[in-house]
Amino acid sequence: MSAKVILLVEDEPLLRKLVQHTFRNSDYEVLEALDGEEAVALAKREKPDLILMDIQLPKISGYEATRRIKELPGLGAIPIIALTGFTLLAEEGKARDVGCEEFISKPFQPDFLLETVRRFLERPASTD
């Protein structure tokens, strides 16, 4: 069985490093996109198993990138977890409105991130 692929969309180098470190001993491969447009292009090309989406990004926001990815044929079922420094409840609502399945506020505990990702990736495959 090949490794599951996570697409990490994050413009902060330190956060990319932290996330890579978090998954270093996991079975998951972490690809990186540095802005919203790259996120859409890589999602289309690589069809990752899950996407970790920063919201404040260069070019287009994580909300807009999520909206576009969810509209692409065959990509709508990829779970997208929003990662944001905003902790307002309104932001979580916005993330869910554009189609994010989950919302994690920064700063987050690496273990919590790992558990949340596992919850999505280790569940039985959906039939649709």
Footprint on this chain of Mn ion (rule: CB under 5 A): 11, 54, 56
CB of 124 to Mn ion, least distance (A): 33
CB of 110 to Mn ion, least distance (A): 18
| CA geometry: angle 96, 109, 33, nearest 5 deg | 60
In the bound state with Mn ion, the residue whose beta carbon lies nearer, of 58 and 76, is 58
Indicate the SS3 state at residue 4: coil
**Residue 91 and residue 100 in contact, taking contact as beta carbons nearer than 8 Å:** no
Name, in order, each residue with C-beta under 8 angstroms of 64's C-beta and a sequence gap of 6 or more: 36, 98
CB of 35 to Mn ion, least distance (A): 9
| CA geometry: angle 27, 33, 37, nearest 5 deg | 140
Which residue lies nearest Mn ion, judged by its C-beta?
A: 56
In the bound state with Mn ion, the residue whose beta carbon lies nearer, of 67 and 126, is 67
Q: Tokens 């994580």 sit at which residue?
A: 62
In the bound state with Mn ion, the residue whose beta carbon lies nearer, of 26 and 56, is 56
In the bound state with Mn ion, the residue whose beta carbon lies nearer, of 54 and 102, is 54
CB of 85 to Mn ion, least distance (A): 8
